Amino acid sequence: MFVSIRPLRFTVLALQRQAARELAAAFSGIGLTPSQAEVITVVGTYGPLSVREVGEYLVCESGSPSRLVQTLVDRGLLARAVSSHDRRASFLTLTKDGRDTLAAVAKAEERYESTLAARLGGVDIGGLSETLRAAITDEQLAEALNRRFPAQSTI
């Protein structure tokens, strides 16, 4: 018997759109977009990183994060430091304001994730995450997810 995947596909799309709106609202109080908040989180968690390395961790943004990073540098949330090994290379770190912003981002994400977990009730989040991850065939997205959230961890 054939079971249509269409309802699941549209459910995932609807949830993604809803999450994007809800996260945009949560981060607007901090003055960030969800993509900017993700960069702050990545640099704060894994930095110092080059712009290319930041891009390897991003899930929300595809392509080069140069413009996104430059906006955060211009706002004083990220700083560029020249590599002591290669003067052509630079690495991104959080500034003091960036570290304060990272704390605010973490609180906003925690509130959002608590709300979403409550909506999902007793669903096995780890199992659901692994099941959905199995459908991801885009190598760049799969690698970014695996860097940020190793497959055996609960997302």
pLDDT score of 152: 57
Does 66 map to a domain? yes
Strands, E, within the chain: which ranges?
78-82, 90-94
Would you state the pLDDT for residue 63?
A: 66
Of 155, 125, 129, 138, the residue nearest 63 (C-alpha): 138
For residue 155, is it within any domain? no
Considering the domain boundaries, does residue 12 fall inside one?
no
Tally the C-alpha atoms within 13 A of residue 13's C-alpha that lie toward its C-beta: 6
User: For residue 36, what is the domain's CATH number?
Assistant: 1.10.10.10
Place of tokens 């459908």: 135
> How many separate domains does the chain show?
1
Kindly state whether residue 27 falls inside one of the protein's structural domains.
yes
* Residue 61 maps to a domain: yes
Query: Which pLDDT score is estimated for 154?
Result: 45
Give residue 153's pLDDT: 46
Q: CA 58, 61, 65: angle at the middle one, nearest 5?
A: 80
| Residuewise pLDDT in 10s, the chain (155 residues) | 678 889 999 999 999 999 999 999 999 999 999 999 999 999 999 989 999 899 999 988 766 789 999 999 999 999 998 877 777 778 999 999 999 999 999 999 999 999 999 999 989 988 998 999 999 999 988 998 998 888 654 44
CA torsion, ordered 50, 66, 94, 80, to nearest 10 deg = 60
State residue 1's pLDDT score.
Answer: 67
Give CA–CA dist 49/58, Å, rounded. 12
> Is residue 111 situated within a structural domain?
yes
The whole model's pTM is what? 0.86
Helices then strands, each counted (H, E), the chain: 7, 2
Residue 116 lies in a domain: yes
In a domain, 142, yes or no: yes
Per-residue pLDDT, 85: 76
Domain boundaries, position 115: 23-147
pLDDT the model gives residue 22 = 96
